[in-house]
Structure 1
């Protein structure tokens, strides 16, 4: 798959996921994101998605791609938790 198409697909998925906090802000006063929150979340999601897509394309087996997905999601969750609540501080 061409790199620009991969980047475009990851960007579209990232934009779709970023609509969830926007919807949450409309439905609840407990979701209160500022511009910096949206920027950081978008960068994290886009980076995780792009890393997965680029590395997974090089892996031969489904088990290896699954392990990569678990690794990327785990790292994303740990970084997100650290930024959100200072999990490791």
Structure 2
């Protein structure tokens, strides 16, 4: 069985790997033009999501409840990310 510390490490390793991928993509891929502010926003979104998922996983709720809450957290992340990237809702935060 995986220990709690290992679960936390795995949960927070995903955003680290995504940020490293984005960094190297920004360096080597033509057309990938992230500013430092873009990296800060991405880090806040990814690590904030990892933090909330870690809280849910550590809670005493039933497995189905945990899965549903994690799905909602990931859905919110995806919607915010998409809105910032292309502006599907047309809010003032849209990146397009």
Q: TM-score range by the shorter chain?
A: 0.7 to 0.9
CA distance in structure 1 between the partners assigned to 2:48 and 2:25 by the alignment: 23
Q: TM-score, normalised by structure 2?
A: 0.73
**1:9-49 deviations in Å (ceiling 9; x for gaps):** 35544222201112222332121111000000000011111
Structure 1: tracts of 5 or more residues without a match: none
Give 1:74's aligned residue.
Answer: 75
Q: TM-score, normalised by structure 1?
A: 0.78
User: Whose helix fraction is larger, Structure 1's or Structure 2's?
Assistant: 1
RMSD of aligned residue pairs (Cα, Å): 2.2
Where has structure 1 moved over 4 Å in runs of 4 or more?
A: none
Structure 2: tracts of 5 or more residues without a match: 91-96
